[in-house]
Amino acid sequence: MSRKPVRRDDPDDADAEVIPLTSRAQRRGRASAGYDSPRTLILQISHVRTDAEAHRHIGIDDSLHLSDLQHVIAVSFGLEETAPWKFDDAGERIEADDPLHLHLGVAGDHILHTWGLWEFTVTVVDSWARDDNTPRALCVGGSGSFGGTRFNLNEINAELTGEETIEHVLAGTVPPVSELVERSGLYDFVPLLQALDLRRATYLSEEVRRRLAELPLEDDAAGRDAFWSSTLALASLSGADFAEHVLETIMAALGWIDDDGSRLTAEAAKALCASSLEVLEELGAAGEDVLSPVDRLDLYRELLRYRPHGE
Protein backbone atom coordinates (compact mmCIF):
# COMPACT_ATOMS: atom_id res chain seq x y z
CA MET A 1 0.00 0.00 0.00
CA SER A 2 1.33 3.46 -0.83
CA ARG A 3 1.97 5.77 2.09
CA LYS A 4 0.19 9.02 1.32
CA PRO A 5 -1.36 10.09 4.64
CA VAL A 6 -3.67 13.07 4.86
CA ARG A 7 -4.89 15.05 7.86
CA ARG A 8 -7.94 15.02 10.10
CA ASP A 9 -8.64 15.16 13.89
CA ASP A 10 -9.07 12.57 16.69
CA PRO A 11 -7.30 12.58 20.14
CA ASP A 12 -7.04 9.64 22.58
CA ASP A 13 -4.78 8.50 25.48
CA ALA A 14 -4.04 6.13 28.44
CA ASP A 15 -1.21 5.20 30.77
CA ALA A 16 -0.18 2.98 33.71
CA GLU A 17 2.96 1.56 35.19
CA VAL A 18 4.16 -0.23 38.33
CA ILE A 19 7.45 0.37 40.11
CA PRO A 20 8.52 -2.52 42.37
CA LEU A 21 9.53 -1.92 45.98
CA THR A 22 12.33 -4.02 47.46
CA SER A 23 14.23 -1.80 49.93
CA ARG A 24 13.73 -2.42 53.66
CA ALA A 25 16.12 0.00 55.35
CA GLN A 26 14.97 1.58 58.61
CA ARG A 27 13.82 5.19 58.70
CA ARG A 28 16.59 7.74 59.18
CA GLY A 29 15.66 10.98 57.39
CA ARG A 30 17.81 13.12 55.08
CA ALA A 31 20.24 14.51 57.69
CA SER A 32 20.99 11.14 59.27
CA ALA A 33 21.64 9.75 55.81
CA GLY A 34 24.39 12.34 55.33
CA TYR A 35 22.56 14.59 52.86
CA ASP A 36 22.51 18.34 53.44
CA SER A 37 20.83 19.57 50.24
CA PRO A 38 17.33 19.07 48.79
CA ARG A 39 16.62 15.72 47.18
CA THR A 40 13.95 14.13 45.05
CA LEU A 41 12.22 11.25 46.80
CA ILE A 42 10.55 8.43 44.92
CA LEU A 43 7.71 7.29 47.14
CA GLN A 44 5.50 4.24 46.91
CA ILE A 45 2.14 5.04 48.45
CA SER A 46 0.06 1.92 49.03
CA HIS A 47 -3.45 1.14 50.19
CA VAL A 48 -3.90 -2.59 50.74
CA ARG A 49 -7.10 -4.40 51.69
CA THR A 50 -7.93 -8.09 51.74
CA ASP A 51 -9.94 -7.76 48.53
CA ALA A 52 -7.91 -5.16 46.61
CA GLU A 53 -4.88 -2.91 46.63
CA ALA A 54 -3.84 0.32 44.98
CA HIS A 55 -0.37 1.82 44.59
CA ARG A 56 0.92 5.18 43.39
CA HIS A 57 4.55 6.11 42.77
CA ILE A 58 5.41 9.74 43.36
CA GLY A 59 8.51 11.81 42.71
CA ILE A 60 8.55 14.71 45.18
CA ASP A 61 10.81 17.44 46.56
CA ASP A 62 11.81 16.45 50.10
CA SER A 63 11.71 20.12 51.13
CA LEU A 64 7.93 20.14 50.74
CA HIS A 65 5.79 19.66 53.83
CA LEU A 66 3.59 16.76 54.88
CA SER A 67 0.55 18.91 54.09
CA ASP A 68 1.84 19.15 50.51
CA LEU A 69 2.27 15.38 50.40
CA GLN A 70 -1.31 14.99 51.62
CA HIS A 71 -2.52 17.06 48.66
CA VAL A 72 -0.47 14.93 46.25
CA ILE A 73 -1.91 11.74 47.77
CA ALA A 74 -5.44 13.14 47.52
CA VAL A 75 -4.97 13.98 43.84
CA SER A 76 -3.28 10.65 43.08
CA PHE A 77 -6.03 8.54 44.66
CA GLY A 78 -8.99 10.82 43.93
CA LEU A 79 -9.66 11.61 47.60
CA GLU A 80 -11.92 14.36 48.94
CA GLU A 81 -9.57 16.69 50.80
CA THR A 82 -12.33 17.67 53.23
CA ALA A 83 -12.01 14.35 55.11
CA PRO A 84 -9.91 14.33 58.32
CA TRP A 85 -6.34 13.16 57.81
CA LYS A 86 -3.05 12.75 59.65
CA PHE A 87 0.45 11.28 59.41
CA ASP A 88 2.07 8.95 61.94
CA ASP A 89 5.71 7.97 62.31
CA ALA A 90 6.40 4.85 64.39
CA GLY A 91 3.02 5.24 66.09
CA GLU A 92 3.44 8.93 66.93
CA ARG A 93 1.44 11.63 65.20
CA ILE A 94 3.65 14.08 63.27
CA GLU A 95 2.96 17.69 62.35
CA ALA A 96 1.53 18.62 58.97
CA ASP A 97 4.05 21.45 58.60
CA ASP A 98 7.06 19.15 59.06
CA PRO A 99 9.25 18.98 55.93
CA LEU A 100 9.33 15.54 54.36
CA HIS A 101 13.08 15.16 54.84
CA LEU A 102 12.65 15.00 58.63
CA HIS A 103 10.90 11.65 58.27
CA LEU A 104 11.73 10.34 54.79
CA GLY A 105 15.29 10.19 53.52
CA VAL A 106 16.54 6.85 52.25
CA ALA A 107 15.06 3.72 50.71
CA GLY A 108 12.91 1.92 53.26
CA ASP A 109 11.95 4.97 55.33
CA HIS A 110 8.20 4.90 55.87
CA ILE A 111 5.33 6.71 57.55
CA LEU A 112 1.58 6.09 57.75
CA HIS A 113 -1.07 8.39 56.28
CA THR A 114 -4.64 8.13 57.53
CA TRP A 115 -7.47 9.64 55.48
CA GLY A 116 -10.86 9.17 57.10
CA LEU A 117 -11.10 5.44 57.79
CA TRP A 118 -8.45 4.49 55.23
CA GLU A 119 -4.72 4.01 55.74
CA PHE A 120 -1.91 4.51 53.23
CA THR A 121 1.68 3.41 53.75
CA VAL A 122 4.23 5.90 52.40
CA THR A 123 7.62 4.31 51.72
CA VAL A 124 10.79 5.70 50.14
CA VAL A 125 11.89 3.65 47.13
CA ASP A 126 14.82 5.83 46.08
CA SER A 127 16.21 9.37 46.29
CA TRP A 128 18.70 11.56 44.46
CA ALA A 129 19.99 15.13 44.46
CA ARG A 130 17.58 17.51 42.78
CA ASP A 131 18.05 20.64 40.70
CA ASP A 132 15.84 23.59 39.79
CA ASN A 133 14.50 21.83 36.70
CA THR A 134 13.14 18.77 38.50
CA PRO A 135 9.35 18.78 39.11
CA ARG A 136 8.35 19.45 42.71
CA ALA A 137 5.76 16.67 42.62
CA LEU A 138 4.86 14.21 39.87
CA CYS A 139 3.13 10.85 39.70
CA VAL A 140 5.48 8.50 37.83
CA GLY A 141 3.35 5.36 37.89
CA GLY A 142 0.85 3.27 39.75
CA SER A 143 -1.74 0.52 39.65
CA GLY A 144 -5.16 -0.31 41.03
CA SER A 145 -8.35 1.69 41.51
CA PHE A 146 -9.44 3.35 44.74
CA GLY A 147 -13.00 4.24 45.69
CA GLY A 148 -14.19 3.72 42.15
CA THR A 149 -11.55 6.07 40.74
CA ARG A 150 -9.49 4.33 38.05
CA PHE A 151 -5.75 5.08 37.92
CA ASN A 152 -5.05 7.60 35.18
CA LEU A 153 -1.49 8.93 35.12
CA ASN A 154 -2.22 11.77 32.72
CA GLU A 155 -5.22 13.11 34.64
CA ILE A 156 -3.29 13.00 37.90
CA ASN A 157 -0.32 14.90 36.52
CA ALA A 158 -2.54 17.38 34.70
CA GLU A 159 -3.93 18.33 38.12
CA LEU A 160 -0.52 18.34 39.81
CA THR A 161 0.99 20.58 37.14
CA GLY A 162 -0.28 23.91 35.81
CA GLU A 163 -0.03 26.27 32.84
CA GLU A 164 3.23 27.80 34.06
CA THR A 165 4.79 24.35 34.33
CA ILE A 166 3.60 23.43 30.84
CA GLU A 167 5.21 26.55 29.37
CA HIS A 168 8.45 25.91 31.27
CA VAL A 169 8.69 22.29 30.15
CA LEU A 170 7.91 23.00 26.50
CA ALA A 171 10.44 25.85 26.47
CA GLY A 172 13.14 23.29 27.24
CA THR A 173 11.99 20.90 24.51
CA VAL A 174 13.21 20.84 20.91
CA PRO A 175 10.84 23.06 18.86
CA PRO A 176 9.39 20.32 16.59
CA VAL A 177 8.23 18.42 19.69
CA SER A 178 6.84 21.42 21.59
CA GLU A 179 4.99 22.41 18.40
CA LEU A 180 3.77 18.83 17.98
CA VAL A 181 2.32 18.87 21.51
CA GLU A 182 0.59 22.19 20.87
CA ARG A 183 -0.75 21.14 17.45
CA SER A 184 -2.08 17.83 18.72
CA GLY A 185 -3.43 19.22 21.99
CA LEU A 186 -1.91 16.21 23.76
CA TYR A 187 -0.58 18.07 26.79
CA ASP A 188 -0.62 14.71 28.57
CA PHE A 189 2.95 14.35 27.29
CA VAL A 190 4.16 17.33 29.32
CA PRO A 191 4.54 15.22 32.50
CA LEU A 192 6.58 12.69 30.50
CA LEU A 193 8.87 15.43 29.20
CA GLN A 194 9.08 16.87 32.70
CA ALA A 195 9.98 13.50 34.21
CA LEU A 196 12.69 12.99 31.57
CA ASP A 197 14.49 16.04 33.01
CA LEU A 198 15.78 17.15 29.61
CA ARG A 199 18.33 19.53 31.12
CA ARG A 200 20.16 16.69 32.86
CA ALA A 201 23.66 16.05 31.51
CA THR A 202 24.01 13.16 29.06
CA TYR A 203 27.12 11.03 28.65
CA LEU A 204 27.31 10.27 24.96
CA SER A 205 30.18 10.14 22.50
CA GLU A 206 30.57 12.95 19.99
CA GLU A 207 29.78 10.48 17.20
CA VAL A 208 26.47 9.52 18.83
CA ARG A 209 25.60 13.18 19.41
CA ARG A 210 26.36 13.96 15.78
CA ARG A 211 24.14 11.16 14.48
CA LEU A 212 21.27 12.17 16.76
CA ALA A 213 21.60 15.82 15.70
CA GLU A 214 21.04 14.77 12.07
CA LEU A 215 17.61 13.31 12.87
CA PRO A 216 15.06 13.18 11.48
CA LEU A 217 16.38 12.29 8.04
CA GLU A 218 12.94 12.67 6.49
CA ASP A 219 12.10 16.04 4.94
CA ASP A 220 8.33 15.64 4.49
CA ALA A 221 5.80 16.74 7.11
CA ALA A 222 4.29 13.28 7.64
CA GLY A 223 7.68 11.62 8.03
CA ARG A 224 8.95 14.21 10.51
CA ASP A 225 5.75 14.03 12.57
CA ALA A 226 6.00 10.23 12.55
CA PHE A 227 9.60 10.39 13.78
CA TRP A 228 8.95 12.75 16.69
CA SER A 229 5.80 10.83 17.61
CA SER A 230 7.86 7.61 17.60
CA THR A 231 10.47 9.26 19.82
CA LEU A 232 7.85 10.25 22.39
CA ALA A 233 6.43 6.73 22.31
CA LEU A 234 9.89 5.22 22.84
CA ALA A 235 10.71 7.67 25.64
CA SER A 236 7.75 6.40 27.64
CA LEU A 237 9.77 3.18 28.17
CA SER A 238 6.56 1.16 27.90
CA GLY A 239 6.00 -2.18 26.23
CA ALA A 240 5.85 -2.50 22.45
CA ASP A 241 2.04 -2.70 22.30
CA PHE A 242 1.54 0.43 24.37
CA ALA A 243 4.26 2.30 22.48
CA GLU A 244 2.42 1.53 19.23
CA HIS A 245 -0.82 2.76 20.78
CA VAL A 246 0.92 6.01 21.76
CA LEU A 247 2.31 6.43 18.25
CA GLU A 248 -1.09 5.87 16.63
CA THR A 249 -2.74 8.24 19.12
CA ILE A 250 -0.34 11.09 18.38
CA MET A 251 -0.54 10.69 14.62
CA ALA A 252 -4.36 10.62 14.79
CA ALA A 253 -4.40 13.73 16.99
CA LEU A 254 -2.16 15.48 14.46
CA GLY A 255 -4.73 14.69 11.79
CA TRP A 256 -2.87 12.04 9.78
CA ILE A 257 -4.88 9.22 8.22
CA ASP A 258 -3.97 6.57 5.65
CA ASP A 259 -4.55 7.18 1.94
CA ASP A 260 -7.73 5.08 2.09
CA GLY A 261 -9.16 7.27 4.86
CA SER A 262 -8.56 4.74 7.66
CA ARG A 263 -6.68 5.35 10.90
CA LEU A 264 -2.92 5.34 10.37
CA THR A 265 -1.48 2.22 12.01
CA ALA A 266 1.77 2.18 13.98
CA GLU A 267 3.35 0.07 11.25
CA ALA A 268 2.38 2.62 8.61
CA ALA A 269 3.58 5.51 10.75
CA LYS A 270 6.95 3.86 11.34
CA ALA A 271 7.29 3.25 7.60
CA LEU A 272 7.06 7.02 7.11
CA CYS A 273 10.25 7.53 9.13
CA ALA A 274 12.01 4.22 8.48
CA SER A 275 15.41 5.79 7.76
CA SER A 276 15.49 7.67 11.05
CA LEU A 277 14.26 4.68 13.04
CA GLU A 278 17.04 2.61 11.48
CA VAL A 279 19.56 5.05 12.98
CA LEU A 280 17.89 4.75 16.39
CA GLU A 281 18.08 0.96 16.12
CA GLU A 282 21.80 1.16 15.32
CA LEU A 283 22.30 3.32 18.41
CA GLY A 284 20.29 0.97 20.65
CA ALA A 285 17.38 3.37 21.18
CA ALA A 286 14.79 1.30 19.29
CA GLY A 287 14.17 -2.19 17.98
CA GLU A 288 14.82 -5.52 19.66
CA ASP A 289 18.49 -5.11 20.64
CA VAL A 290 18.17 -2.01 22.81
CA LEU A 291 20.39 -0.50 25.49
CA SER A 292 19.41 -0.44 29.16
CA PRO A 293 16.59 1.96 30.10
CA VAL A 294 19.08 4.35 31.73
CA ASP A 295 21.26 4.49 28.61
CA ARG A 296 18.25 4.84 26.32
CA LEU A 297 17.01 7.79 28.37
CA ASP A 298 20.25 9.64 27.63
CA LEU A 299 19.63 9.15 23.91
CA TYR A 300 16.04 10.39 24.18
CA ARG A 301 17.11 13.40 26.26
CA GLU A 302 19.67 14.33 23.64
CA LEU A 303 17.01 14.09 20.93
CA LEU A 304 14.30 15.98 22.78
CA ARG A 305 16.16 18.77 24.57
CA TYR A 306 16.22 22.33 23.24
CA ARG A 307 19.72 23.59 22.47
CA PRO A 308 19.83 27.40 22.11
CA HIS A 309 21.80 28.84 19.19
CA GLY A 310 22.43 25.37 17.76
CA GLU A 311 24.54 24.21 20.72
Per residue in 270-283, pLDDT (tens digit) is 999 999 999 999 99
C-alpha span between 165 and 180 (Å, rounded): 17
**CA 26 and chain centroid, separation:** 28
For the cut 50, the answer to whether the pLDDT of residue 25 exceeds it is no
For the cut 60, the answer to whether the pLDDT of residue 62 exceeds it is yes
* 155 CB-contact burial (10 Å; exposed 0-12 / middle 13-18 / buried 19+): middle
pLDDT band (50, 70, 90) for residue 11: very low
Taking residues 117-125, report their average pLDDT: 95
Q: pLDDT tens for residues 249-261?
A: 999 999 999 989 9
Q: Is the pTM of this model over 0.75?
A: no
Taking residues 223-242, report their average pLDDT: 93
| pLDDT at residue number 155 | 80
pLDDT band (50, 70, 90) for residue 284: very high
C-alpha span between 145 and 235 (Å, rounded): 26
Domains and CATH numbers, the chain: 31-150 (3.10.290.30), 164-310 (no CATH)
| pLDDT at residue number 119 | 96
| pLDDT at residue number 30 | 65
C-alpha span between 18 and 150 (Å, rounded): 14
For the cut 70, the answer to whether the pLDDT of residue 17 exceeds it is no
CB 60 within 8 A of CB 40: yes
**CA 154 and chain centroid, separation:** 9
Percent of the chain predicted with pLDDT > 70? 86
C-alpha span between 59 and 141 (Å, rounded): 10
pLDDT band (50, 70, 90) for residue 311: low
